[in-house]
Structure formats: C-alpha cells, structure tokens
Amino acid sequence: MPSHVLIMAAGQGTRMRSHRPKVLHRLGGLLLVEHVLRAAQSLVPKSTSVVIGHQAERVRAGLSGHKGLKFAVQLEQLGTGHALLQAMPLLRDQRGTLVVLSGDVPLIQPSTLRRLLATHHETSAAVTILTARVERPYGYGRVIRNGGRLIRIVEERDASDTQRRLNEINGGIYALDLEPLFNALGDILRAGAADEIYLPSLVTTCRSRGLPVETVEVTNPDEVRGINSQSELAEVRQIVRQSKNEELMAAGVTIEDPATTYVDMDVNVGPDTVIHPGVILEGRTHVGARCELHAGVRIVDSTVGDDVVVNNHCVIQRTRIERGARVGPFAHLRPETEVGENARIGNFVETKKTTLGQGSKANHLTYLGDATIGADVNVGAGTITCNYDGDAKHPTTIGNGVFIGSGTELVAPVSLEDGAYIAAGSCITDDVPAGALGVARNRQVNKGGWVGRRKAPSDQTTTGS
C-alpha cells in the first residue's frame, strides 16, 4: 500500500519569543521542518503535504525549493486533530497509510520511520503511535496502558498527578490507515483544558470501534524531542553538532576542539584535514583532503581543494579554491571568487567575482573586484581594482606573468596584457600592451624650506624671562 506524509507546521511557537515561525528556525544549516522532510523522504511517499497556519505564506515561501509539496491551511489553531481535518481535501481520495510528523521534531531518523511503518503494516493496525521513555516528560502527552496495552493518551494539562509521573510519552508521530481516518476524526469532539480537537483521541475512538491500535517505542528518546523554546533549540543544536563532528572524525578528519567547531549537516571534509578551534563550515561546503583550517575561519557554500591552507580569521563565501592554494590570514573571499592551483591570497585581501590564476599571488592589503587574473601574476601590496563608477561595475583583465607594483589603482574597464609591468604608485586608466611598462604618476617635486615657511610665528618655540 502507498504511504503519504503529512507534516504539522501551523503553530506559532510563542515560547520561542520570535517573530519567525518556529519551523523556520535553523538547525545545522537546515530549517527545522527540512530535517523532518528529509527523514520522510526515506519512505518514498506518494504525496507529501504540510499543514501551515501562523505566517502561512512565510512558511510556504521558506519551503519553495521543495518541489511537489502540497499545503493545507489551518486558519485557527484548534489542535492537532483539527489540523489533520484541514488536510482532508488533499487526502480524501487517497488510499494507504498516512504518516503524520511534527515540523518541530527535527531529530527523527529515517530508520525509525521505516520501523513505524513496518509495524503498522505487520499488525494491520488502524493507528500506530511512536512513543518514548524520557527523564523529563514535562509538556508531553502521557501514554496510559493497562496490562501493557495502550488505553489512551492524556495531554499534560489534562493529566492527574499520578499520570504526570509516568515517563512514557506520545512522540507526536503516527501511522494512520487513511480509509477509516476521516470518519473517525469526525467523531472527535473538542475537549480538555485547551478545548481543542486532539489527534491522540483517535486511540479512544478506534478502540471503541474495535480497531487495533499499536505503539512503537524509539530506542533514542532524542528522536522525538520537540523544540518549543530557544533553550531547547540550543540543546538540540549541541546534539546535532556533536553528531556531525563525530561523523567527520570517524572519517579521518582531525578536529582539535569539537566543542568550538561548527559544521553544518551538508558539509563534506576529506581525510587528514586538520580543523583548528573556532572554525565554522556552513551550507554545502566541501573541503578536500590534507587541508588545514586555522582558528576563526568561516567558510560558506564553497569548494576547497586538496592540500589547501586557510590561515586564521578568514571569511570565504561561495568561492572555489584549487589544490595547494594558501589563503589569509584575515582575508575576505566574497561570492564568485576562484583561486587557482598553488595561488596565494594574503592578509587583509578582499576579492569579489574574481579569478586568480594558477601560481598567482596577492599577498597584502589588496581589493580585487570583477577581475580576471591569469597565471603567475604578482599583485603588489595596496593594489585596488576600481570596478565601480557609481552606476555600474566594470571588469579588469590581467594576463599571464604580469607584475603589478605596490599602491596601484586599476581603473576599470582596463586590460593588462601578458608580461606587462606596472610601476608602483600608478593609477592605470588605459590598457597596457604585452611586455610594456605602465607608469601613471606625476614627477616628484621637492620644495626646499617649505616646512619652516609654513609654520606660523605662534608655532615657533621662544625663550625669555
């Protein structure tokens, strides 16, 4: 039978104290709800739907990159059962099993969802619920059993003192047979202290109809941890970060201080790479083998080849760095930068939309924007490509083997052909032919005695009684 997935993402998350919808907070480089979507993909569902409500259009926009999603809107948040009813038009004509997930439970594992679905099918259950035994059950619905069999689920606010001492909780994840589902939902009335339609009430409804109800207990309670506050999000971030660092270290990466190393879920790092304290690797970054990333480096959505050294406190964004290159310290490589094999980017160098060819170097205090630079070029300290005229950006093209003296301004659009030399302190506004020396500076004039004549009489030092 086909499976379908429905993700609950309508809540406001008031305890987050944030204007951002709870499911759009980030964890390990992904939105909370994206973690859930990834786990659900392992079921190869026939359809995937999301119930949205609070800031619905913002949540829809946040998930715009996920093709094929369907959305149901819950205008009033009247409980999880009510949320499921809003999805009725999307699912009424479907057959099979519906897996209901929570958009704020990001640690759920694909293997657990497959086990839930397998148990549901093997037992021919109408409802199968994922449960967990936790040390701190506060805030969760409690699982009530009689002789080991599930009788009902009681919400925290409706539980008695005795029931609150139970530590088996409802994980908020369900497998439901679609055929009897909506008829059963229609029989559930608003109830409890919150006067809401509770989805766990399906347990009582199905049992009253003689339909089988089953449970699956997770082996790791963290899988069903819901995130309702900033402190809970921070706790889960620590779990995700530790898991990712352990994955990298198991693959041969040296992480000197895992507690201060932040690596997103989709980052790849090759073996024998050394990561020093305070390194942050974000997005879809790929770092090759035998690299060394020194303290304070931040790399975002970039590709770093093998044997690359990135010195302290560099920021690298949407950049490609080839094998054997060296960067930094204190360099800023902005989007669309390409650093060639064995090239050098030194301290306090900024690049943007620039290609630096093989073996070329810009070692000090330089800005290179909208520039294409060939192989074996020397860019002297303090060189600036003046690429913006106030209205538009213009390119600078530098050929192979060019030598640019210190303190040079290259006013784009301008081209320096192969082998050209530029005298230090020049302001180049015209193209320089191959093999030529470009000099663009005024002749120095020294005016003798100027300093003394400039001083006013009041500035002169006087003596007397």
> Which of the residues are catalytic?
364
Query: What distances in angstroms separate CA 221 from CA 94, 105, 113, 224, one per listed residue?
Result: 32, 11, 14, 6
3-state helix, strand, coil in the chain (%, to 5): 25, 30, 45
Helices (H), 43-194: 56-62, 80-86, 88-91, 110-122, 161-164, 178-186
192, 155 Cβ separation under 8 angstroms: yes
The one-character DSSP state at 371 is E
CA gap 103, 9 in Å, rounded:
5
CA gap 311, 308 in Å, rounded:
10
341 Cβ contact partners less than 8 Å away, ≥ 6 residues apart: 305, 322, 323, 324, 325, 358, 359
Instruction: Phi first, then psi: give them for residue 34, nearest 5 degrees.
Output: -70, -30
Helix (H, G, I), strand (E, B) or coil at 419: coil
DSSP for 69-81, written as a single string: -EEEE-SS---HH
Token output for 334: 């902005």
DSSP for 199-237, written as a single string: GGGHHHHHHHTT--EEEEE-SSGGGG----SHHHHHHHH
CA gap 115, 253 in Å, rounded:
32
Nearest-10 Cα torsion for 63, 69, 70, 72? -30
285, 267 Cβ separation under 8 angstroms: yes
CA gap 110, 43 in Å, rounded:
8
CA gap 51, 82 in Å, rounded:
10
Residue type, 61: A
Q: Which of 374, 384, 372, 358 is nearest to 419 (CA)?
A: 374
**Helix 32-41 and helix 110-122: axis angle, to 10°?**
50
